[in-house]
Chain A
Amino acid sequence: MAEAASRPAAEAVITATDLVRRFGDFTAVDHVHVSVAPGEVFGLLGANGAGKTTTIRMLCGLLPPTAGHIRLAEVDMVRHPRRARGRLGYVTQHFALYAELSVRENLALQAGLYGLSPARARERIAWALQHLDLEHLADHKARALPLGHRRRLDLAAALLHEPHILFLDEPTSGVDPLARQQFWELIYALAAAGIAILITTHYMDEATYCDRLALMHAGRIIAEGSPDDLLARPLPTPLLEVRGEGCAACSRWLADWPEVLEIIPHAGYLRLRLRPGTDPQAVIRRLPEEAARRGQRVEAAEPVAPDLEDVFVTLLEQDASP
C-alpha cells in the first residue's frame, strides 16, 4: 500500500493539522500533522516520551490541543466532541473496562453508553463475541481473563458502535507473541472492512505490519511513509554483519576502529554500523587477518540491508545532531 501516502487529504477520515500541545514550558507535541484514510493502518512510533500518547489522547478528545485542528470523519473534534466520539473507538494502553463485570456485562454497558437500541445491542454484542472469539468467556469476569483475551475484550468494546476510526494505544504490549499475531489478524480484518486504524507501538516487527508509519521524536514527526518507503531510503551509515567462532570477542578491538560507529551484538553474529563515507569493502578485507592475528576467526563479513530499526536509529541520530 505504498500509494497510501500520496492519497488526497480529502479522502482522509482522520485529519489533524498543526497539532500542538504544551504542558507549561514543555512542548509535548510540536506541529504534528496526521492523516489516515479509511482502511489504512497507520502506525505511530517513537520512544517513551516522544509524544505518541499525547498525540493519540488529543485525537480521541481526551486532551484539548493547545493549537491545531482535528477532524474525525468530517466532524470537528474540538467543537463537536460528542458527535465525534460516536465515530471513534479507543483501546487504552491499560485495561480500563470493569474487572468485576463479566465480558457480556461490559459489552452491554458500552452498548448503552453509545446509545444502541436494545435489539441492535444484542446483535452487535453477539457479533463481537463471535468475531473476537470471546463467546466461551462471555460470562467470565473480565478480571479472570488472560491478558490477550482482555485486550480482545477492549477491542470488542471499542467496536460495538461500529466506529469509522479506531485508536489503539500500545494494544499489544505485554501480550504473548501468538496472541499478538492473532490481534494483528483482527486489525487487518477491521481495516479491510474500511475502518481507519491509528496504532502506537514500540515493537519494530509490528511497525512493518502497518500500511504507513510516522516516527515521532521530541514531539515532532521526523519521518513518515510506508515501511518500504522508509527502508528504501539510502542510509549514510553502511551496515555489516560479521559471523565467526567466538567473534563476540572481536567487539573489544573493533570498538577502537575509527570506521566503526556502533557494534550491535546478536546471537552468533555482530552487526556493525560504519561511519558515513566508509568503504565497507575495505573493512571486510581487513577483518579476517586482524581477527587471525588475535587468534580469532571471522568466517563471513558482508554488507546487509537495513531494517526499520536501523533506519529509525539513523533518523533519530540525524534529528538529534542537525
Chain B
Amino acid sequence: MNLQHVRAMARKEWWHLLRDPRSLALMLLMPTMLLFLFGYAIRLDISQAPVAALDLSRSAESRQLLARFDASHAFALVRAHDSRRALRQAIQHGEVWGALIVPQDYARRLQEGRARVQLLLDGVDANTARLVRNYALLVLQALGEEQGDVPALVIRDRVYYNETRESRLAIVPGVIALLMAVIGALMTSLTIAREMELGNLVMLRTTPLTRGEFLFGKLVPYFVLGMLDLVVATAAAVWVFDVPLRGSLPGLVGVSAVFLLVVMLQGALISILAGNQLLASQISLVQTFLPAFLLSGFVFAIENMPVVLQYVTYLVPARYYVTLSKAIFLKGLTPLALWGVTLPLLLMLLILVLMVRRRARKLGLLP
C-alpha cells in the first residue's frame, strides 16, 4: 500500500465533498436533525396528557380523586363533562386521550372499601392508550394507599440507570447508532458507485493505483466526518438531552469507530455489487437504515419480537452497537465487560473486510 496514492485519493474525495454542498449538508446537518427529531418525537412516556372527567358522584371524595389526577405530571384534566355522550365525542374528536367516569355511588362504596371508577381510552393509538392506563393505575394506587386501603400485595419498584424513567435517555444513544448507520453506509455506497457509474474508474485502472489504496482513500474522509458526527451527537446527547455519559468516552469512541467501519464496509460492498448510485442508495437504505431503526432494539424491544425476527437481529450490526452505546452511556460499562456484544461486532468487521476484498476485484484496479 502506497500512502501517497491513498493520500491523493483521499484529498480528491475531500475536494469532491467540499464541492458538493448537498453531501456535506447531509453529513453535517442530518445527524443533528435526526437527533432532535427522534429525541423529541419518539416518546415512550406521557406528560400532561389531556383527560376528560365525568363526575356523577359530585362528592368531596370524587373531587379529591379528580384533583389527584390533575396534580399528577402525567395528566391534565381538560374540563368536566356532563354526559357520557359528551365524553365519547371529546375522545372521538381527539380533544382528550382518555376519560375518567366517577359513578354516582363512588363516595358510599369508598366507605365500604369497594369503590370503582371507569376509564375510557382512545384505542386508535394502542401504545398511548396503554401508557394512559398504566399512569392512571399508578395514580389510583397511590391514592388508595393514602386512604388506608391496604392491598394484599404491593410492588415497590426502583428503576436503575434511568431513575426518572425517561424514554429519551434510552432513545438518544440509539439515535446515534441510527445516524451513524445512515451516514456510514449511504455516503460510502454513493461515493464508490459514483466512480463506477461516471466512468472515472476506467482512468484509474490505467494508473498504478491498487484496489486497497482506492478503497482506503475513498473511505478515510467519510470516516473522519462520521467520527465528527459522533462527537457532535454525543455532545448534544450530554448537554442538550441531559443523557448521562456514565461510561468512558474512549470506550464509546472505540466501539463507535468499529461500528462506523462495519457500516461503511457494508456500504462499500453494496456499491461494488450495485454498480450505480440509485440502486446502491436504495439497497443501503433498506440494508442499513431500516434494520438499524426497526431491528436494533433502539425503539422496539428485541425480546418482544417474533422469535424468527429475533434471530434476524443477530445479523444487524446496529443491534450490538445500540446495546453497547446504551450500556456505556447509562450503565457505565466498558466495551470489554460487554465482550459478548463487542466480539460479534469485531467479527462482522473481519467478515466484511474479507468480503469487500473479494468483491473489490470487480473494480478492475491493480490487486
Contact = CB atoms under 8 A, between A and B. Distances in A.
B203 A92 contact: yes
B257 to A, nearest CB: 26
Contacts of B20: 100
B202 A98 contact: no
B4 interface: yes
Contacts of B200: 96-98
A264 interface: no
B366 A81 contact: yes
Interface-centre pick from B7, B11, B15, B206 (highest chain A CB count, 10 A): B206
B203 A97 contact: yes
Contacts of B94: none
A61 B206 contact: yes
A90 interface: yes
Nearest to A154: B203
Nearest to B207: A113
B366 A101 contact: no
Interface in A69-92: 81-82, 85-86, 88, 90, 92
A101 B19 contact: yes
Given A85-B207, A101-B15, A115-B208, A62 B202 contact: yes
Question: How would you classify the secondary structure of chain B's contact residues: helix, strand, loop or mixed?
Answer: helix
Interface stretch (A29-37, A104-112, A265-273): A104-112
Contacts of A81: 366
A110 B206 CA distance: 11
A60 interface: yes
B90 interface: no
Contacts of A100: 16, 19-20
A98 B12 contact: yes
Contacts of B11: 108-109, 112
Contact of B12 (A94, A101, A115, A157): A101
Contact of B209 (A60, A88, A101, A113): A113
A88 B206 contact: yes
A108 B2 CA distance: 16
Nearest to B213: A113
A114 interface: yes
Given A85-B366, A98-B12, A101-B15, A113 B202 contact: no
Contact of A113 (B15, B204, B364): B204
B362 to A, nearest CB: 14
B361 interface: no
A110 B207 CA distance: 8
Contacts of B19: 100-101
Interface residues of A, number: 27
B8 interface: yes
B8 A111 contact: yes
Interface string B15-33: 1100110000000000000
A105 B20 CA distance: 15
A82 B366 contact: yes
A101 B207 CA distance: 18
Contacts of B202: 62, 92, 94, 96
Nearest to B19: A100
A99 B206 CA distance: 18
A105 B207 contact: no
A61 B209 CA distance: 13
Given A88-B206, A90-B206, A98-B200, A109 B8 contact: yes
Interface string B177-214: 00000000000000000000011101111111110000
Contacts of B16: 98, 100-101
B4 to A, nearest CB: 5
Contact of A85 (B2, B15, B208): B208
5 closest pairs, A vs B, by CB? A112-B8, A96-B203, A90-B206, A113-B207, A109-B12
